[in-house]
Amino acid sequence: MSLNTLEEIASYIVSGGKGILAADESNPTCGKRFDSIGVESNENNRRDYREMLFRSSGMKDNIGGVILFDETIRQNAKDGTPLVDIISNQGALPGIKVDKGLQPFGDLDETVTVGLDGLDERLKEYVSLGAKFTKWRAVIKIGDGMPTQECIDANMKALADYAKIVQDNGMVPMVEPEVLMDGSHSIEDCYDASDRSLKSLFKHLADNEVNIKGTILKPNMVTSGSNSNQQADIDEVARKTLDCLIANVPPELPGITFLSGGQSDILATAHLDAMNKIGGFEWKLSFSYGRALQAAALKAWGGKPENMFISQDALSHRAKMNKLASLGDWDQGLEDD
Ligand code: 13P
């Protein structure tokens, strides 16, 4: 694969309905996922699980990029093959999470993502390890008095600073402003927080002269809070999400790849499909799911090597369903019962 420019890399990742497998859980987060199936989270188990995912047949044709955690980009498979080579051989590009997590911000329960210190040096190493794109996640909370504009702006400025440094190192930055689903807020509150975040993000990206054609946006969908007793239906989520994106995202951005954020795997597919069936935008609208791609595979695996094939089938199935949804061709009744 010879992809020379940022534009070519970004476009390749989302070409033909492909999306991204987010497998960049930090060790504590991976620990929580493994706890749910009674498996110890140690280096070997994390390697075995991810090697199994990356060798799944459904990676081919459906997955254009895989986001890795620092530990994983350095790991070899059991037979000694670097995991990044397994990913590349499946036709996907290796990516790397480069932020250093969240720090408290201001007087409310808000956070700002950190990791700019030493980023340039770390990126140079990741390039040498084969990374073609990167991810930085900002977290915006909805609640009493939140989000504050100060918190939004601090996070979006950090995202834009990160994006510029990444492009200067020849990789595609994925910018992830995640408005959390946690809470009992309405879908209108989520629209407002998402709208303010995207406005601030694209202003700061322009201020930094970030090349939008060599950038991927990883946003939340506009949904009701997960504890709200008024859950918006699929059509409303699709329409409000599209309205918010169309109002804020330049058409030349090559790809928008959603996070799943705690949605069930079928719902994450259904929302994506509904948006692509509505249409009316120029970017590719695809997925960068963690839980919504992995949940069934993790459960099927249960830490037992003899479950490898059913686990890989589960990942392959979800990858295929989400590719169909990225093309607006998913049909739950026919294909996903
Ligand atoms: P989820 O799809 O599980 O939200 O994970 C995506 C991700 O990478 C969050 O940063």
CATH number, domain containing residue 101: 3.20.20.70
Q: 60 in a domain, yes or no?
A: yes
The per-residue pLDDT for 294 is: 98
Average of per-residue pLDDT across 103-129: 98
- Chain-centroid distance of CA 61 in Å reads 18
The per-residue pLDDT for 3 is: 86
pLDDT digits (tens, 9 = 90+) for 216-250: 999 999 999 999 999 999 999 999 999 999 999 99
Q: What share of the chain in percent tops pLDDT 70?
A: 99
Q: 40 in a domain, yes or no?
A: yes
Whether the Cβ atoms of residue 133 and residue 172 lie closer than 8 Å to each other:
yes
Number of domains in the chain: 1
Q: 268 in a domain, yes or no?
A: yes
Q: What does the alpha-carbon distance between residue 192 and residue 331 come to, in Å, rounded to a whole number?
A: 31
Tell how far the Cα of 167 is from the centroid of ligand 1, in angstroms: 22
Whether the Cβ atoms of residue 15 and residue 64 lie closer than 8 Å to each other:
yes
Q: 1 in a domain, yes or no?
A: no
pLDDT digits (tens, 9 = 90+) for 253-266: 999 999 999 999 99
Calculated CA dihedral for residues 42, 45, 50, 56, nearest 10 degrees: -170
Query: Which numbered atom of ligand 1 lies nearest the CA of 260?
Result: 2
Q: What does the alpha-carbon distance between residue 216 and residue 307 come to, in Å, rounded to a whole number?
A: 35
Average of per-residue pLDDT across 153-161: 98
75 or 335, higher pLDDT = 75
Tell how far the Cα of 260 is from the centroid of ligand 1, in angstroms: 6
Average of per-residue pLDDT across 67-86: 98
Q: pLDDT at residue 17 above 90?
A: yes
318 lines ligand 1 (CB under 6 A): no
- Chain-centroid distance of CA 183 in Å reads 21
pTM for the structure as a whole: 0.97
- Chain-centroid distance of CA 319 in Å reads 14
Active site (catalytic) residues = 176, 218
Q: Whose CA is nearest to atom 1 of ligand 1?
A: 290
Q: Whose CA is nearest to atom 8 of ligand 1?
A: 22
Q: 197 in a domain, yes or no?
A: yes
Q: 105 in a domain, yes or no?
A: yes
The per-residue pLDDT for 4 is: 84
Query: Which numbered atom of ligand 1 lies nearest the CA of 137?
Result: 10
The per-residue pLDDT for 45 is: 96
**Enclosing H/E stretch for 81:** none
The per-residue pLDDT for 1 is: 63
Query: Which numbered atom of ligand 1 lies nearest the CA of 176?
Result: 10
- 53 closest CA partner among 248, 235, 290, 262: 290
- 319 closest CA partner among 253, 268, 276: 268
Tell how far the Cα of 79 is from the centroid of ligand 1, in angstroms: 29
132 lines ligand 1 (CB under 6 A): no
255 lines ligand 1 (CB under 6 A): no
Residue 307 CB neighbour total at 10 angstroms:
16
Residue 157: φ, ψ to 5°? -65, -40
Q: 128 in a domain, yes or no?
A: yes
Q: 187 in a domain, yes or no?
A: yes
For residue 290, the enclosing domain spans 6-336
Distances (CA, A) of 116 to 1, 162, 237: 30, 7, 34
Q: Whose CA is nearest to atom 4 of ligand 1?
A: 261
How high is the mean pLDDT of the chain?
A: 97
